[in-house]
Amino acid sequence: MKLEELRLRHFRNYQDLTVTFGPGVNVLLGENAQGKTNLLEAIYFLALARSHRTSNDRELISWQAENAQVFGRVQKHSGQTPLELDLSKHGKKAKVNHLEQAKLSGYVGQLNVILFAPEDLSLVKGSPQGRRRFMDMEFGQMSHRYLYNTAQYRTILRQRNRYLKELGSKQQSDLVLLDVLSDQLAAYGSEIISARVTLLKRLEVWAAQVHQEISQQRETLSFHYVTSVKDDDLIDTQHIYDALKLLYQQHRDKELFRRTTLIGPHRDDLKFLVNDKDVSSFGSQGQQRTTALSVKLAEIDLMHEQTGEYPVLLLDDVLSELDDSRQTHLLTAIQDKVQTFLTTTSLSGVAQKLIHQPKVFRISNGEIQADD
């Protein structure tokens, strides 16, 4: 999968831009605050119809403009696919092959991207919410069903939490409706948990191989999915569904008291273990960074395994956060394998030696110039 062309209109500090990219490593070179990350954000937005930097889409539209457009031409095994997102204060419209999509779930997955930014180095040490978001964003690109189930789950979860608040304040008293909502939540929740367990097992296989290579066979990486459902019930979707329904019954009084849903995939977590020890608690900073790098590189192979296409890799100033050894492994792993977009203030040292024939773009104040 390759992003051959990108066109922006009134997106962040880009008023009118058309740029053609190379199939290998595309280096976005420039000083800070000139628009390098904005360009990566545009590619991410084109893929997922959402920003990785803000939840307010209005911030993506240039100052004093009414709307913004992002257009991309994607080359896949099946041929070229034009993608388009139109963004205004009224919302966004998504088009695939010039046909408007009724739902964003029909749009996401046309262009698969993996973003690796300095904050992703905190994937191991950061909050459970960040790890849940990581799973949902990556697995949603690989599976329309997963994307649909998470959207439905969030809708039912909001309804159930609202009803728990109404029950707690005596505005409602009908527990039958709570049972209906619990059943619906268990149905979608069991699909999500089942998919996570399956995909995490595959991701673990790829990540463990990378981690052993980086650590020179000294360390073994493994995953532990933390959920309220017992391990014995994680064998299939039906068992998970039955377990969730029972847990909602058992926790009813506590949830009524707390007025919120305490059980389900929105409360789950993912732990990373190095030599069977929780690397977030007992690992060194170097081990934590190696784990994060291993997981990110493993995503490339997992996405290829699940979709038949390699994703586009976005590296946002991440080289400056990695030592020479980890830089070397990252750049060697992606060379001639995936189309890559790399932002940096200077291309030197390890990167300059290892990147074969990069296509360099110099960015200044929302203007972009390709080196000959």
DSSP per-residue string spanning 43-83? HHHHHHSS-SS-S-GGGGBPTT-SEEEEEEEEEETTEEEEE
Model confidence at 238: pLDDT above 70: yes
Model confidence at 168: pLDDT above 90: no
Cβ–Cβ < 8 Å for 154, 132: no
Model confidence at 211: pLDDT above 90: yes
Binding-site annotation: residue ranges for ATP: 30-37
CA angle at 116 for the pair 115 and 122, rounded to the nearest 5°: 125
Instruction: Tell me the pairing of strands 113-116 and 312-316.
Output: parallel
Q: Is 132 helix (H, G, I), strand (E, B) or coil?
A: helix
The region of weakest confidence among 104-113, 217-226, 239-248, 260-269 is 104-113
DSSP per-residue string spanning 163-212? HHHHHHTTS---HHHHHHHHHHHHHHHHHHHHHHHHHHHHHHHHHHHHHH
Residue listed under structure tokens 């990147």: 355
DSSP category for residue 316: E
Residues 131, 125: Cα–Cα separation, whole Å: 10
pTM for the model stands at: 0.89
Kindly indicate the confidence band of residue 1, based on its pLDDT and cuts at 50, 70 and 90: very high
Token output for 91: 């919302």
Kindly indicate the confidence band of residue 323, based on its pLDDT and cuts at 50, 70 and 90: confident
What average pLDDT does this structure show over 302-318?
93
What's the chain's length in residues?
372
For 19, residues 6+ apart whose C-beta sits below 8 A from its C-beta are: 5, 6, 7, 361, 368, 370
- Work out the mean pLDDT of the chain and round it to a whole number: 92
What pLDDT shows up at residue 39? Answer: 94
Residues 33, 79: Cα–Cα separation, whole Å: 36
Model confidence at 122: pLDDT above 70: yes
Kindly indicate the confidence band of residue 358, based on its pLDDT and cuts at 50, 70 and 90: confident
Model confidence at 201: pLDDT above 80: yes
What pLDDT shows up at residue 308? Answer: 93
For 196, residues 6+ apart whose C-beta sits below 8 A from its C-beta are: 135, 139, 225, 265, 268
Residue 311's nearest CA partner among 351, 340, 342 is: 340
Residues 341, 247: Cα–Cα separation, whole Å: 45
For 56, residues 6+ apart whose C-beta sits below 8 A from its C-beta are: none
pLDDT (tens digit per residue) in 170-198? 888 889 999 999 999 999 999 999 999 99
What pLDDT shows up at residue 106? Answer: 84
What pLDDT shows up at residue 105? Answer: 81
Cα pseudo-dihedral 94, 23, 28, 207, rounded to 10: 80
What average pLDDT does this structure show over 222-238?
96
pLDDT (tens digit per residue) in 50-67? 998 888 888 999 988 899
Kindly indicate the confidence band of residue 349, based on its pLDDT and cuts at 50, 70 and 90: low
What pLDDT shows up at residue 6? Answer: 97
What pLDDT shows up at residue 220? Answer: 95
What pLDDT shows up at residue 304? Answer: 94
What pLDDT shows up at residue 354? Answer: 78
% of the chain exceeding 70 in pLDDT: 99
Binding-site annotation: residue ranges: 30-37
What average pLDDT does this structure show over 272-296?
92
